[in-house]
Amino acid sequence: MPFVGEILKYRSVSIVGLAKNAGKTECLNYILKRLPLDYFNVAVTSIGIDGESLDQVTSTAKPEITLREGMFFGTSEKHYRQRKLLSELFDVSDETTAIGRVVTAKALSEGKVLLSGPSSASALKRWMSSLDRIGIDLVLVDGALSRLSTASPAVSEAMVLSTGAAFSANIKDLVSKTAYVVELIGLPLYCGPEPEARISSFSDLSGETIRECQVLEVEGALTDRLLQVVKNELQNGEKELVVSDFTRIFASQDLYRAFIKRGGKISVRMKSRLLAVCVNPVAPNGIVLDSDVLCGTLSEKIGLRVYDIVKNVY
């Protein structure tokens, strides 16, 4: 599929699922199977624990992560000992997770591995920087459940989004929710003058500062509470909110839409590149959505091609 070739243009790419069992691991395996390794050094890790054969929450079967010979990987000491492949140890980091230090190694044979890498975005960035000395061309990061921080442009340059029936069993609702995330990813970069004031969810939100300023820098997260206060002042003139990146926006879709409809704007300091949207039409509870309808409806809504990885493997 075309997006695999696009991945080669970046130094770091996150694979992010909008829900557990949304097909993120299938998507990662699809990519790993097709990357060229004869002239390209690839490393992979996860900010959570991934690669289990059995889901710890739903007790349903999960696809394991399969590495090819020559791939580098980062995981905890515990899961490194449990690997099902031959490997060469490159580094044992001072960075620790709940289950041990982060180990960096190279696969000397094809096999399966549990990935449980750095446990925070800052630790992940440090680990990725440490790979420069061994000549890594591309780092793939498997994002953990509900932790879009791995998709922040401060961490990775580009991303692949995975969604599906596990996120919502209704196609209309699923398309709407996914399109909202895609819209946030596509928010424009802020290119104007220095914002007149800084606000946060923890500041005094009396409205006076907001009324006096047209452009406001949001420190930390943009929450419903903060967005509602700014929305209430829109009758006094257009307001633009500047956030660090889309992963810092936690406002509900309804409030966001109402804010934009009233004339508000939101822009970002850093922007990530969305390379593809992949879907898993099957939910763990047995619900199966029509793949063609889902892919077609979502593609039309977001203006991007949508892939069902399992159905269209070739």
Check whether residue 201 and residue 295 sit in a common domain: no
- Amino acid 148 reads L
Question: Count of domains in the chain?
Answer: 2
Residue 264 belongs to some domain of the structure = yes
- The closest alpha carbon to 157, from 277, 275, 17, belongs to 275
Check whether residue 153 and residue 202 sit in a common domain: no
Check whether residue 220 and residue 288 sit in a common domain: no
Check whether residue 23 and residue 168 sit in a common domain: yes
200 vs 219: CA distance, rounded Å: 5
Phi-psi group of 147: left, alpha or beta (phi > 0 → left; psi -120 to 50 → alpha; rest → beta): beta
178 vs 167: CA distance, rounded Å: 9
Contacts of 195 (CB under 8 A, 6+ apart): 213, 215, 216, 217, 242
Residue 52 belongs to some domain of the structure = yes
18 vs 27: CA distance, rounded Å: 13
pLDDT(32) > 60:
yes
Enclosing domain of residue 248: 197-268
137 vs 41: CA distance, rounded Å: 5
Check whether residue 279 and residue 259 sit in a common domain: no
User: pLDDT, tens digit, for every residue of 96-132?
Assistant: 788 889 999 999 999 999 998 888 888 899 999 999 9
pLDDT of residue 146: 56
Q: Using CB atoms within 10 A of its CB, is residue 10 exposed (0-12), middle (13-18) or buried (19+)?
A: middle
Residue 122 belongs to some domain of the structure = yes
pLDDT(50) > 60:
no
Q: What is the pTM of this model?
A: 0.89
CATH number of the domain bearing residue 82: 3.40.50
Check whether residue 34 and residue 49 sit in a common domain: yes
- Count of residues in the chain: 314
- The closest alpha carbon to 267, from 204, 228, 214, 304, belongs to 214
For residue 133, the 8-state DSSP code is G
Per-residue confidence at 41, pLDDT binned at 50, 70, 90?
A: very high
Residue 313 belongs to some domain of the structure = no
Check whether residue 259 and residue 283 sit in a common domain: no
181-213 in b/e form (b: 16+ CB < 10 A) is bbbbbbbeebeeeebeeebebeeebeeebbeeb
Check whether residue 261 and residue 302 sit in a common domain: no
Residue range 11-22: average pLDDT? 90
pLDDT of residue 314: 42
pLDDT of residue 63: 62
3-state secondary structure of 265: strand
With a pLDDT cut of 70, the percent of the chain lying above it is 91
pLDDT(53) > 70:
no
pLDDT of residue 49: 66
236 vs 214: CA distance, rounded Å: 10
Beta strand pairing call for 265-268 and 138-142: unpaired
Residue 314 belongs to some domain of the structure = no
Check whether residue 92 and residue 227 sit in a common domain: no
pLDDT of residue 57: 45
The answer to whether the Cα torsion of 247, 218, 266, 251 is positive or negative is positive
What is the chain's mean pLDDT, rounded? 88
Strand partners, 268: 189, 243
Check whether residue 9 and residue 84 sit in a common domain: yes
CA 1 to chain centre: 20
Check whether residue 264 and residue 299 sit in a common domain: no
Helix (H) or strand (E) holding 138: strand 138-142
Residue 215 belongs to some domain of the structure = yes
In this structure, how many other beta carbons lie within 10 angstroms of the beta carbon of residue 151? 27
Per-residue confidence at 48, pLDDT binned at 50, 70, 90?
A: low
Contact 67, 44 (CB under 8 A): yes
User: pLDDT, tens digit, for every residue of 122-180?
Assistant: 889 999 999 999 999 999 999 855 567 778 898 899 999 999 999 999 999 999 999 99
Contact 69, 135 (CB under 8 A): no
- The closest alpha carbon to 265, from 229, 221, 310, 231, belongs to 231
Check whether residue 139 and residue 243 sit in a common domain: no
- The closest alpha carbon to 303, from 276, 285, 283, belongs to 276
